[in-house]
Chain A
Amino acid sequence: MLHIVVCIKQVPDTKIIKMNPKTNTMDRSSAPAILNPYDTHAVEEAVRLRARYGGRVSVLTMGPPPAVKAIKKCIEIGADEGYMISDRAFAGADTLATSYALTKALEKIAAEYAPVDLILCGKMTIDGDTGQVGPGIARRLDMPPLTSVNKVVELNLEERFAIVHRKLEDGYEVIQSTLPCLMSVEKTINEVPYSTMPNMLRAARYQPQIWAVSDLPNIDKTQLGLKGSPTIVSAVWAPQKPQGGKLIEGDAKQQVEELISVLMEQRILFEATPRGGEH
């Protein structure tokens, strides 16, 4: 039977987040926490694959206690079970330490339920936006990583292979991989429909299993959290905005004339034309 685990993360909605202009820090409380949009599509894809092939969809997150909400959102989309690892020892993890902790939890899920055939991740998150956690998990579990997947053509559970489309800068490639494997998915892979009432009711009541470090067997604590992270964030600042320039005054006709004469004077327009031009 097909067992898919989807790794998901709760993130601040970066569209709404505000910066404190005095301290140059983020006001995290200004932004609602949401399920990472790419992960929404990963969960939806898992649910669709379950509809095609049968099996179970588990979701896994590492995060602080409020991240339970993100798991409930996955149950609404149609996931079967949720797992969360939550412990102060995970705090400050970079992608290397994050993929380590998640791998340990994935091993436990596999041991307690069933071997994992497929791991799905989002292409990236909208807060850290590194896209490095998925491939990191794949390496640790020695699975082929398939990044930027925007279509799952086939899973063949008898012969143990998958065929996917992997997005490239100017097209896509069709890849065949052995199973188990890890896929990180693009948003274009599917459209997420509205949740059904039964799933919403189930989500409202649902409580995921929550594990601390001590619940994960064979874990090397030196590889967790800040201590296990080779990268550190040494400085954070607001991106510098260019200084405001000159507003061109007058009515529309005068504005247009002045802009053209500015460009003529600076000769930029005509020097620029050949390379960008069509002639």
Chain B
Amino acid sequence: MEREAEQFHGQHQGIWVFIEVKDGAIAHVSLELLGAGRMLADKRKSLLSGILIGDQVDHLADELYEYGADQVYVYDDPIYRFYRTESYMRALLDCIRKHKPEILLYGATSTGKDLASAVATDLPTGLTADTTQLDVEADTGLLQASRPAFGGNIMATILCKKYRPQMATVRPKVMKALPQQAGRQGVLIQERIAITEAQIRTKVLEIVRSTIQRVRIDEADIIVAGGKGLGSPAGFELIHELAHTLGGAVGASRDVVEAGWVAHHHQVGQTGVTVTPKIYFAIGISGAIQHIVGMQNSALIIAINKDPTAAIFQASHYGIVGDALTIVPMLIEAFKVAIGRKEEVDVGKI
């Protein structure tokens, strides 16, 4: 592979976001990246572009403008009906080689990571993994991408000085999408490459969506999370009950998931989901750093733990030192009363 990216001589310009499409809709992480990309583009006084690859996707461009994109490159062809590394990589490499972006961001999802790693090798260029903070030097365009490593024990800032584009995968739910600006316009740029089915060595035979109704903890405003301190699966039932009372979702520490008290998609943290609810209850959770990194951006964190020295208290706004098995049932009763009263007030107003 030739090292074409090495001599970039400053002709690389613009901030790009790879737009992930799932079941005909834009993945939320792509909107979040447009929010982050807008900040970078404004600092660099350059354009923000989305790269949209798929089958019958060009109408999605309008939504991308409304979330901050100035222009959208589209590769629209039945061959892109399913994500496949080889077909998407070819389109993206074509676009990068032709239009030379300065920075290219991808969601750190199964698709984004797969695509970004392949593209980085071919260019070649540097790829920062699983970024949680982004900034750019306004005058040089040097991207400062920071990420957790060593199981969340450290944060590191990664630079890619000599190669362009600078690329990073960015963790979902960490960046903020801009508020949708209805009617905001942009420019659509149709692109096309010659590509045939015979050139692609993989086929998607079937897509199986999990049928279990998932509690979308990444979208919940209230999360009640429980840890090993609940003592048993029966104790953990209290977490479900409190969540139900508040209309929130159930979260969990990894140890609870590993013990089999609750399914993995409830796990919050480094190897689980990153969440940003308005209220986060951490009940019987010790507060290991790998857990903290997944919930520390919650607006209000309330911890209940019987050990006054538990690390979770350092990470929370309000703490109750006490036995969860006593406190939580009392909370459930009290909330039922409080919320009931609140509903009466609202009804009275109407």
User: Interface readout for A151-187 with B: 1 if CB under 8 Å, 0 if not?
Assistant: 0000000000001001111111111111001000000
Contacts of B289 in A (CB 8 A): 239, 241
B151: which of A15, A172, A230, A279 is its contact (CB, 8 Å)? A15
Complex Cα–Cα for A245 and B302 (A): 9
Asked if B109 and A169 sit within 8 Å, CB to CB, the answer is yes
Secondary structure class of chain B's binding surface, majority of residues: mixed
A193 contacts partner chain B, Cβ-Cβ < 8 Å: no
User: Which among A55-63, A84-92, A208-216, A249-257 touches the partner chain?
Assistant: A249-257
Contacts of B299 in A (CB 8 A): 268
Interface residues of B in 170-224 (CB under 8 A from A): 201-210, 214, 219-222
User: Which among A42-50, A94-102, A106-114 touches the partner chain?
Assistant: A94-102
Q: Nearest B residue to A146 by beta-carbon distance?
A: B202
A192 contacts partner chain B, Cβ-Cβ < 8 Å: no
Asked if A234 and B157 sit within 8 Å, CB to CB, the answer is yes
B74 contacts partner chain A, Cβ-Cβ < 8 Å: no
Q: How many residues of B sit at the interface, in one of the four size bands? A: 35 or more
A17: which of B150, B158, B244, B330 is its contact (CB, 8 Å)? B150
Asked if B162 and A127 sit within 8 Å, CB to CB, the answer is no
Q: Nearest A residue to B129 by beta-carbon distance?
A: A130
A21 contacts partner chain B, Cβ-Cβ < 8 Å: no
Asked if A14 and B150 sit within 8 Å, CB to CB, the answer is yes
With both chains docked as a complex, state the minimum distance between the C-beta of B288 and any C-beta of chain A, in angstroms. 9
Q: Nearest B residue to A173 by beta-carbon distance?
A: B207
Asked if B157 and A145 sit within 8 Å, CB to CB, the answer is no
Q: Nearest A residue to B220 by beta-carbon distance?
A: A276
Asked if B127 and A132 sit within 8 Å, CB to CB, the answer is yes
Secondary structure class of chain A's binding surface, majority of residues: mixed
Contacts of A19 in B (CB 8 A): 153-154
Contacts of B323 in A (CB 8 A): 252
A173: which of B208, B316, B319 is its contact (CB, 8 Å)? B208
A247: which of B130, B207, B222, B308 is its contact (CB, 8 Å)? B308
B263 contacts partner chain A, Cβ-Cβ < 8 Å: no
With both chains docked as a complex, state the minimum distance between the C-beta of B278 and any C-beta of chain A, in angstroms. 4
A29 contacts partner chain B, Cβ-Cβ < 8 Å: no
B315 contacts partner chain A, Cβ-Cβ < 8 Å: yes
Complex Cα–Cα for A74 and B140 (A): 47
Asked if A232 and B151 sit within 8 Å, CB to CB, the answer is no
A66 contacts partner chain B, Cβ-Cβ < 8 Å: no
Contacts of A146 in B (CB 8 A): 202
User: Interface readout for B104-142 with A: 1 if CB under 8 Å, 0 if not?
Assistant: 000001100110111011101111111000000000000
Q: Nearest B residue to A95 by beta-carbon distance?
A: B127
B92 contacts partner chain A, Cβ-Cβ < 8 Å: no
A204 contacts partner chain B, Cβ-Cβ < 8 Å: no
Asked if B113 and A234 sit within 8 Å, CB to CB, the answer is no
Report if A127-B126 is in contact (Cβ < 8 Å); known contacts: A144-B202, A234-B159, A273-B221.
Answer: no
Complex Cα–Cα for A200 and B221 (A): 51
Asked if A255 and B322 sit within 8 Å, CB to CB, the answer is yes
| Chain A to chain B contacts (Cβ below 8 Å), 7 pairs | A128-B149, A131-B117, A171-B209, A242-B315, A246-B317, A248-B320, A275-B221
**Which A residues contact B (CB, under 8 angstroms)?**
12, 14-15, 17, 19, 26, 94-96, 99, 126-132, 134-136, 138-140, 144-148, 163, 166-178, 181, 229-239, 241-248, 252-253, 255-257, 259-260, 262-264, 266, 268-273, 275-279
